[in-house]
C-alpha cells in the first residue's frame, strides 16, 4: 500500500514540475521577445529656388502610431494596449538641401514592439531659409505637427527602416495674404520601407 501511494505521489510531483516548467518558459518568452528596431530617415526632393543655400528645419518629435485595429496585439508585458511611441524628444536640425539626390539623414531610431504601424508624426519647432548671399529669413510655420500615413511592419529581432521625403520645394511658400512673407507648410511623404 505504501508503495502505491509513493508511486502516485511521484507521478503527481513529476506532472506538477512539468506544468510549472512549461508555464515558466511561456512567461519568459513573452517578456524577453517581441521587439525590433525602427530607423526613420529623412530625404528631400530638389528645391527650385536658385538663390537659396539652405533650408534648415528643426524637429522636436518623431512619434510612431500602432495600427488601431491591431493595437491589442502590440502590448507591453502587463498586457495593456500600447500607446504611440516617441522616438525623438530633443531638437534636431536638418538642412533639407543636403538631403537631395538620394542622400538621407537618420532622423530617429529606437526599439519598438514588433507589429503593425500606420503613421508617423513629425513635430516641427523652427525653420529658416539661408540665402547664398549669407542673409537668412525665418519661416512662419503653418502647422508644427505633420502626420505621415505610412503602413509598415516591424519584425521581431530585426531592423525596419522608413524613409520620409520632407519636400522643401513644396513646403516653402509665399504667404497668401500678399505681404511677401515666406511660410513653411510641411509636405512630407513616405518614400520607402525596408525590412
Beta bridge partners of 43: 165
What b/e readout covers 25-48, taking b as 16+ CB neighbours within 10 angstroms? eeeeeeeeebbbebbbbbbbbebe
Biggest alpha carbon–alpha carbon distance for the chain: 102
Give 81 or 138, the one with higher predicted confidence.
Answer: 138
CA-derived radius of gyration, the chain: 26
**What's the mean pLDDT in 109-128?**
95
Going by C-beta distance under 8 Å and a sequence separation of 6 or more, which residues neighbour residue 20?
Answer: none
Length of the chain (residues): 195
Q: What is the DSSP letter of 176?
A: T
pLDDT value for 72: 47
pLDDT of residue 44: 83
The Cα-based distances of 71 to 67, 75, 156 in angstroms read 6, 7, 16
CA dist 101 and 169 (Å) reads 14
What is the percent of the chain where pLDDT is above 90? 54
pLDDT in tens, 46-78: 666 678 899 999 999 999 999 976 444 444 444
Q: pLDDT band for 82, please (50, 70, 90 cuts).
A: low
Q: What is the pairing mode between strands 92-95 and 85-88?
A: unpaired
Instruction: In whole angstroms, give the CA distance from residue 29 to residue 137.
Output: 54
Cβ-contact 120, 163 below 8 angstroms = no
The model's confidence at residue 83, banded by pLDDT at 50, 70 and 90, is confident
Output the pLDDT for position 88. 87
Instruction: Write out 38-81 in H/E/C secondary structure.
Output: EEEEEECCCCCCCCEEEEEEEEEEEEEEECHHHHHHCECCCCCE
3-state secondary structure of 86: strand
Amino acid at each position: 500500500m505504501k508503495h502505491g501511494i509513493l508511486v502516485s505521489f511521484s507521478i503527481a510531483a513529476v506532472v506538477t514540475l512539468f506544468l510549472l516548467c512549461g508555464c515558466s518558459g511561456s512567461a519568459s518568452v513573452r517578456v524577453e521577445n517581441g521587439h525590433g528596431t525602427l530607423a526613420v530617415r529623412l530625404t528631400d526632393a530638389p528645391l527650385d529656388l536658385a538663390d537659396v543655400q539652405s533650408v534648415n528645419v528643426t524637429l522636436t518629435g518623431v512619434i510612431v502610431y500602432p495600427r488601431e485595429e491591431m493595437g491589442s496585439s502590440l502590448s507591453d508585458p502587463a498586457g495593456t494596449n500600447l500607446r504611440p511611441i516617441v522616438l525623438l524628444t530633443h531638437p534636431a536640425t536638418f538642412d533639407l538641401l543636403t538631403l537631395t539626390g538620394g542622400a538621407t539623414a537618420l532622423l530617429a531610431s529606437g526599439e519598438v514592439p514588433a507589429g503593425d504601424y500606420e503613421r508617423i508624426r513629425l513635430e516641427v519647432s523652427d525653420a529658416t531659409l539661408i540665402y547664398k548671399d549669407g542673409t537668412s529669413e525665418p519661416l512662419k510655420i503653418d502647422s508644427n505637427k505633420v502626420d505621415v500615413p505610412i503602413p509598415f511592419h516591424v519584425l521581431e529581432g530585426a531592423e525596419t527602416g522608413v524613409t520620409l521625403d520632407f519636400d522643401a520645394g513644396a513646403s516653402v511658400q509665399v504667404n497668401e495674404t500678399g505681404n511677401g512673407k515666406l511660410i513653411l507648410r510641411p509636405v512630407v511623404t513616405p518614400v520607402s520601407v525596408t525590412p
